[in-house]
């Protein structure tokens, strides 16, 4: 006879091993029994290279110039407002219409959200929702994003009773500086932002003689301009719709060089901030490569192509299928798909003994592999794939044959 390597129920003095088959019902129980919040990436990965309002540079004074003539008007082509598209750095919130009932239905989803003050759209355009995973909403309108989240919540068997709101608009900005009361970065929101409104929001034009104030707009390496008086008079002047990345500068002197210098300073500051963010991210990635960052791991061994320690991802949960296929999958010859186990420690509060639950997956039926995508892993789980019965037999033969060969040689010598 030969023994098949597998996990068996055991009851001892100090430990209890319980084998539980993985079924569609048990998967939900396994995930709920051991709540887990994935480790988050440092906040530097949620930040974008945008200037803070306090960082808008002040322009040095220069020698007065002679009063110029009328400023020629040059405006960009007229554009129609478009639906706002969610971008990196925006913060979205899932609001429920009935806080008492819906909050219980979405359960820990909103609790995690409240602790984090909403979900921040990260560099890849996705938000990370605990127990649900990453949902890509970057580049979508509010309606498209709500539809994508609805589908993801349905797939995760969560009642999708919610409204999607954008609480912080961080992905699209317009810089307003120069002779205004409060130079600042103004976000583009669901409401279209126009040139005259942006200047008003910055406190309006501040100049001893406003008749010589010129409003300049820098966009896509093009410079547009209009006198402040003409802009606010609104006599047959089309409204100028602003877009992400626009630079607005109110100049009280007729100096193109001064205005262009302001733009160069802003670009230099933005590049400096990008360099700082890149450096901080590189340092973190280096620390990850040197194993100098606290991580959560699972351990994969048995009849898999690559045995070893596998780190759980940041900002999302991982499934049994993730770990299996990241490690190369089951050995096609020696691995036994009927005996795939996830070993997980749990404390038996009644006896005080250290319990071990072995979640057993029978993947001989390929359809059961879908359960592997639903079973979430937890820190220090052990993923084990047993061997085929014939594998144990072959290993026994490979150990016995050399002994038989040696005995046969000895008999030949004696005879």
Residue 271 and residue 254 share a domain: yes
Q: What is the mean pLDDT of the segment spanning 252-273?
A: 68
The range of the structural domain enclosing residue 336 comes to 10-39+294-394
Has residue 115 got a pLDDT over 70?
A: no
Domain assignment present for residue 399? The answer is no
Boundary (domain end) residue, out of 243, 277, 311: 277
Domain assignment present for residue 409? The answer is no
Domain assignment present for residue 402? The answer is no
Residue 184 and residue 75 share a domain: yes
- In degrees and rounded to multiples of 5, residue 111 shows phi and psi of -60, -45
Which DSSP string do the residues of 53-92 spell out, in sequence order? Answer: GGGPPPPPP--------PPPPB-PPP------B--TT-EE
Q: What angle do CA 179, 183, 184 make, to 5 degrees?
A: 155
Dist. CA 314–CA 128, nearest whole Å: 9
What confidence tens digit (pLDDT) does each residue in 361-394 have? Answer: 998 888 888 899 999 999 999 999 988 765 554 5
Residue 154 and residue 96 share a domain: yes
Residue 387 and residue 353 share a domain: yes
What confidence tens digit (pLDDT) does each residue in 172-203 have? Answer: 999 999 989 999 999 999 999 999 999 999 99
Q: Chain-centre distance of CA 391, in angstroms?
A: 43
What is residue 58's predicted lDDT score, i.e. its pLDDT? 44
Boundary (domain end) residue, out of 277, 311, 342: 277
What is residue 63's predicted lDDT score, i.e. its pLDDT? 42
What is residue 356's predicted lDDT score, i.e. its pLDDT? 87
Residue 188 and residue 262 share a domain: yes
Domain assignment present for residue 327? The answer is yes
Boundary (domain end) residue, out of 132, 147, 168: 168
Between the alpha carbon of residue 70 and those of residues 205, 213, 228, 355, the distances in Å are 18, 11, 12, 85
What confidence tens digit (pLDDT) does each residue in 2-35 have? Answer: 343 556 655 455 557 788 999 888 898 888 888 9
Model confidence pTM above 0.85 = no
Residue 148 and residue 119 share a domain: yes
Domain count, the chain: 3
What confidence tens digit (pLDDT) does each residue in 213-246 have? Answer: 889 999 988 899 998 888 888 777 889 999 999 9
Domain assignment present for residue 4? The answer is no
Residue 235 and residue 266 share a domain: yes
What confidence tens digit (pLDDT) does each residue in 318-350 have? Answer: 999 999 888 888 888 888 888 999 999 876 555
How much of the chain, in percent, has pLDDT values that exceed 70?
Answer: 74
Question: What CATH code is carried by the domain that includes residue 28?
Answer: 3.10.560.10
Residue 184 and residue 155 share a domain: no
């Amino acid at each position: 006879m030969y023994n098949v390597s597998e996990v068996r129920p055991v009851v001892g003095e100090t430990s209890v091993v319980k084998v539980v088959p993985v079924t569609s019902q048990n998967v939900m129980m396994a995930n709920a029994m051991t709540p887990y919040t994935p480790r988050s990436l440092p906040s530097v990965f949620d930040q974008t290279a945008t200037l803070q309002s306090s960082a808008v540079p002040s322009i040095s004074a220069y020698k007065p110039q002679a009063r110029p003539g009328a400023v020629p008007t040059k405006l960009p082509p007229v554009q129609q407002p478009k639906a706002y598209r969610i971008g990196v750095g925006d913060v979205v919130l899932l609001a429920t219409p009935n806080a008492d009932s819906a909050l219980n239905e979405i359960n820990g989803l909103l609790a995690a959200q409240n602790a984090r003050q909403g979900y921040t759209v990260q560099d890849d355009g996705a938000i990370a929702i605990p127990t649900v995973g990453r949902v890509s909403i970057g580049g979508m309108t509010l309606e498209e994003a709500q539809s994508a989240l609805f589908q993801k919540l349905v797939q995760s068997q969560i009642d999708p009773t919610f409204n999607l709101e954008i609480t912080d608009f961080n992905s699209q900005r317009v810089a307003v500086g120069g002779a205004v009361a409060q130079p600042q970065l103004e976000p583009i929101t669901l409401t279209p932002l126009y040139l005259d409104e942006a200047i008003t929001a910055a406190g309006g034009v501040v100049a001893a003689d406003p008749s010589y104030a010129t409003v300049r707009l820098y966009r896509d390496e093009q410079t547009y301009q209009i006198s402040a008086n003409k802009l606010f008079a609104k006599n047959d002047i089309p409204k100028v719709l602003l877009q992400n990345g626009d630079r607005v500068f109110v100049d009280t002197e007729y100096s193109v060089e001064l205005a262009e210098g302001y733009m160069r300073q802003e670009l230099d500051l933005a590049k400096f901030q990008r360099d700082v963010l890149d450096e901080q991210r590189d340092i973190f990635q280096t620390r990850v490569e040197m194993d100098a960052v606290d991580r959560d791991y699972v351990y994969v061994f048995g009849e898999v192509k690559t045995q070893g320690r596998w780190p759980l991802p940041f900002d999302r949960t991982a499934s049994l299928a993730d770990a299996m296929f990241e490690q190369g999958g089951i050995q096609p010859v020696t691995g036994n798909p009927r005996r795939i186990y996830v070993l997980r420690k749990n404390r038996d509060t009644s006896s005080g003994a250290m319990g071990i639950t072995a979640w057993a997956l029978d993947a001989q039926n390929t359809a059961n592999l879908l359960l592997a995508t639903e079973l979430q892993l937890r820190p220090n789980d052990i993923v084990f794939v047993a061997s085929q019965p014939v594998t144990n037999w072959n290993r026994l033969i490979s150990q016995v044959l050399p002994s038989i060969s040696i005995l046969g040689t000895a008999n030949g010598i004696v005879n």
